[in-house]
Amino acid sequence: DKHLGINVTEDLVKYEQHCRHHPMTTIGYARKSKGKERINTRCNLLSEMIHRLRTRSLCTKVYISSCCDAKETI
C-alpha cells in the first residue's frame, strides 16, 4: 500500500507488524454447510477455518455458522 510505505505483496512480515501495531477491527466469517460429518469433525473443520482467518487474514473478530448452506442468506 502506498500509504504504508511498504509493498504488501512483497513484504508480508512488515505488513503484519504494521497491522499488529496499529490495531483495527477486521471481521471474518466462517460457515460450514450442512453435512453428514460427526460433530467432532465439524468442530475441527470450523476451528481450522477460524485459525486461518486469524493468522492469514489477521481477523480480530470471527463469526461462524455451523450449519449454513451457501444459498442461504447471511
Give residue-wise pLDDT tens across range 10-45.
777 777 777 778 777 888 888 888 888 898 998 899
E strands, the chain, where?
Answer: 27-31, 61-65
- In this predicted structure, the answer to whether residue 8 has a pLDDT above a threshold of 70 is no
- Give the pLDDT score at 30: 87
**What kind and span of H or E run contains 41?**
helix 39-55
- Give the pLDDT score at 5: 67
- Give the pLDDT score at 15: 75
Q: Look up residue 31 and give its amino acid.
A: R
